Structure 1
């Protein structure tokens, strides 16, 4: 929807609602951007509308919007709406693969248990509606997954074995965070990337956790099991192929089936119905329910696949053609009385030795790109590790000698300990590459200050940049930060543009339609 422009004079003989409607109609017909130098990019072809495709929207809202839509669109609405690519598809194409090709329903990493459960529910309803509840008939008619063609090197289906070049701590001593600047060497592979892309890695589970699982199962790990049609040693399967940190409902049901203690079996049946709690791993289940010891092949079959993880690339290939830089927050917490570390972040930033090999691939972005217009102003909002793609964007604009102004919003808990990339940002500020650097350190004062707080404090300037055609880029947490930033943007537009809430919503929607409001959220 184009941005509304106000062409109907205030003194025209119309009521306020009529005047607003006419302005909206004229804007739609004219295709105006409502800016002084719109930096629109991309084609103008009409596209199918996916109103549920918003990562900030709750599952219930998304499903309501998809009610009455075709089966594959309802499947799409159940997903995390990030188009992150960790499943090997985009949300739309993953949904179509489930609907038409029989793809598995447990591949949506950010959607996690909520998405998997909803997908199972939708698939079951579809089966019942199309087979009269005759599961055998459906099983015979269900299409087999299509064989995949040989993929280019550096893609999800043909990852590159790259080498870790460095993992440098970015936080000062005493910080509550452990953030690393990780550099991966592409060598002479010829694998290419563009600023705005993400790097996917195939991690390994913590070997100490795997060994503890084997000990609790009272097995050596040298037992042979089948994984995706291949014979593998059990330890290797648990280390590289199966997710032992997020037990599936099917795994819990299997444990219940093979629990020797009646009370444990009953507890596990109830747990299978509601799903494992956050942080409740296979190891915890084996220790809490010591009588539950399933057959090894059954356990491997029911464990979900160890999915790749994506990290926003923090470098421009124009400055680093044979390297990929990224920013990794090492996840560490305590659950069930035991220290828990993130599988991928710990593997990449700490467990992988220097020059150690890691399978990586490039997850390309269709839209999250530096604008082709060298003069366009850019507003980049990226707290925490969300700053990563903007390091890449700034390197890109520097290499291309873009004249457009850059305004960076960055936030973290404490300025003394968590001002990551401080030296580089200061250099860019002094050279003028960064025109405005706005910082928000939430714990430097009694009242919490976040990037959205700073946006509202500088609302007039923010609006002036928008009117000058600025493109807004956001990277970071989808469930909290992105929602709050989006709310702040709507408020700025409404207040500074003297618009009603509905008109402000149309303006923001138009920014998105014209590729001037781009989000890389997770």
Structure 2
């Protein structure tokens, strides 16, 4: 057992539980062994601190924090997510794979253009700084070790699962189109845990691909070689291997190089320097710049890979051992007058036919898990599709027979149209699995109300749960919601706990260190 130094006298005007908690806090802040109390999952060695690894920070803030750090840490700072896993790594291990193993720089999907550009700049600067006389090649290279076969259902060996159902969750008239998607694992034997994500390899919209082929004035039957070294027909490569919705800077530069019109070439050169705008697809570029027609293989080489997408799993394997459930928001929007559809969301929820096949894999979570202690209180904050993992958590706790209390914060635009999973949540509340269900429908009243608003309204009760050892889980948008919830948490700690700003920050940092503040954000 860790040693706790008792600094609060026994005759101090505190109850026993309060005195114990204060002793734990003061011990922790002074650097002694001890804790804030509650449900710490692990008492292992302290982790290296990565203050730049926070998607709530702007790129320049993250890079400033990593200034002077080793190359791999600067790469990590450029990555925008808290270990979303979409690249097949954690941010730290992906950065190290780039720095030490020559991994490609273009696998950080959620970071978007800003991250892609910053990673390239860091790579170029590192290469220039380390340029020197070429090392002499050894007379004979050692034979490469054969790669161990990846297990079925992993990123490098996806399983061809089947779509069992795609059920709309929003009522008619909603501005959203959210689906409960069920994937059948059959007899694959693939296992998952609550907190894991499902990765899918989507396909581009066939109509978009056919339009690209028409504008290139080719049939699609031409043979090309993909980055993986596979020989494929062009149409198949465009469907399954290449990102045509977000053309790379290299692809735009290639269009500029082969533009027959001087003005078009100049425009494309400028665009390659700043990157395609949001929603500006390869098809649009081909139509706006009709003289830009590069060789097909060169275009294939320049386009970025069609990356897999991750979806939080919304089911417990204890209830659904041969199925994976997830919650998909179908992305369909207009960006500066450009119609844009999410590649993966429309493929999974709308284009994939019933019983159609989709390559899937399990992205394991390192820490975003239901606590091992069945008695721990859990506060789950997940607006919109952020509710998905908490459907899994609640199913898991129900199946395990956990006695710990559960408090769910959920929000969406309108209660009448967007109260997804209403039936399940109300049933859990009636039976007592959900001790508290706090809802925030932003457009039900004139003043916008969000989950962080509800947190502040119930700050006293929130603080009581924290003192009782509650673990806080957050899932959803990193740049806005998670940042706003984090600010609300600091405010609750400061006001209810009587801390100044620095003290509240230390308290929240301690929650994170004890794995009592866990985020699955994207």
TM-score for both structures, normalised by structure 2: 0.93
Q: 1:332-360: per-residue Cα shift (whole Å, max 9, x none)?
A: 01246453210000000000000000000
Q: Give the conservation status (yes or no) of the 8 Å contact 1:200–1:311.
A: yes
Q: Distance in 2 between matches of 1:365 and 1:458?
A: 30
1:239 Cα deviation after fit? 0.2
Q: Distance in 1 between matches of 2:28 and 2:327?
A: 45
Aligned equivalent of 2:156: 157
Q: Distance in 2 between matches of 1:78 and 1:521?
A: 16
Q: Distance in 2 between matches of 1:329 and 1:302?
A: 30
Q: CA 1:189/1:517 → structure 2, altered by over 3 Å: closer, same or farther?
A: same
1:108 Cα deviation after fit? 0.3
Q: How many residues align?
A: 505
Q: CA RMSD in A?
A: 2.4
Q: Give the conservation status (yes or no) of the 8 Å contact 1:315–1:395.
A: yes
Following TM superposition, the consecutive aligned residue runs of length 4 or more in structure 1 with deviations greater than 4 angstroms are 4-9, 22-26, 138-141, 143-148
Aligned equivalent of 1:244: 244
Aligned equivalent of 2:268: 268
1:46 Cα deviation after fit? 2.7
Aligned equivalent of 2:15: none
Aligned equivalent of 1:226: 225
Instruction: Write out aligned runs for 1:113-192 (5 A).
Output: 113-132=113-132, 137=134, 148-192=147-191
| 1:106 counterpart = 2:106 | yes
Which range moved further: 463-472 or 92-101? 92-101
Q: 1:100-125: per-residue Cα shift (whole Å, max 9, x none)?
A: 11111111001121111111111111
1:301 Cα deviation after fit? 0.3
Q: CA 1:138/1:304 → structure 2, altered by over 3 Å: closer, same or farther?
A: farther
- Which blocks of at least 5 consecutive residues in structure 2 are unaligned? 13-21
Q: 1:60-100: per-residue Cα shift (whole Å, max 9, x none)?
A: 11111211111111111111132111111111111111111
Give the secondary structure class of the aligned counterpart of 1:404: coil
Instruction: Write out aligned runs for 1:495-514 (5 A).
Output: 495-514=495-514
Q: Give the conservation status (yes or no) of the 8 Å contact 1:330–1:345.
A: yes
1:159 Cα deviation after fit? 0.4
Q: Give the conservation status (yes or no) of the 8 Å contact 2:474–2:519.
A: yes
Match of 1:34 among 36, 53, 57: 36
Q: Give the conservation status (yes or no) of the 8 Å contact 1:280–1:336.
A: no
Q: Give the conservation status (yes or no) of the 8 Å contact 2:72–2:95.
A: yes
Aligned equivalent of 1:494: 494
Which range moved further: 42-51 or 302-311? 42-51
Aligned equivalent of 2:58: 58
Q: Distance in 1 between matches of 2:25 and 2:481?
A: 32
Q: 1:354-384: per-residue Cα shift (whole Å, max 9, x none)?
A: 0000000000001000001111000000000
Aligned equivalent of 1:17: none
Aligned equivalent of 2:472: 472
Q: Give the conservation status (yes or no) of the 8 Å contact 2:81–2:110.
A: no
Q: Distance in 2 between matches of 1:139 and 1:298?
A: 31
Q: Distance in 1 between matches of 2:378 and 2:417?
A: 27
Aligned equivalent of 2:334: 334
Which range moved further: 121-130 or 251-260? 121-130
Q: Distance in 2 between matches of 1:406 and 1:145?
A: 52
Q: CA 1:8/1:421 → structure 2, altered by over 3 Å: closer, same or farther?
A: same
1:28 Cα deviation after fit? 4.0
Q: CA 1:101/1:174 → structure 2, altered by over 3 Å: closer, same or farther?
A: same
- Which blocks of at least 5 consecutive residues in structure 1 are unaligned? 13-19
Q: CA 1:488/1:39 → structure 2, altered by over 3 Å: closer, same or farther?
A: same
Aligned equivalent of 1:217: 216
Q: 1:411-451: per-residue Cα shift (whole Å, max 9, x none)?
A: 00000000000000000000000000000000000000000
Q: Give the conservation status (yes or no) of the 8 Å contact 2:29–2:506.
A: no
Aligned equivalent of 2:92: 92
Q: CA 1:507/1:140 → structure 2, altered by over 3 Å: closer, same or farther?
A: farther
Aligned equivalent of 2:399: 399
TM-score for both structures, normalised by structure 1: 0.93
Aligned equivalent of 2:17: none
Q: 1:198-217: per-residue Cα shift (whole Å, max 9, x none)?
A: 00000000000000000010
Q: Give the conservation status (yes or no) of the 8 Å contact 1:314–1:324.
A: yes
Give the secondary structure class of the aligned counterpart of 1:339: strand
Q: CA 1:147/1:207 → structure 2, altered by over 3 Å: closer, same or farther?
A: farther
Q: Distance in 2 between matches of 1:146 and 1:255?
A: 39
Give the secondary structure class of the aligned counterpart of 1:480: helix
1:7 Cα deviation after fit? 4.2
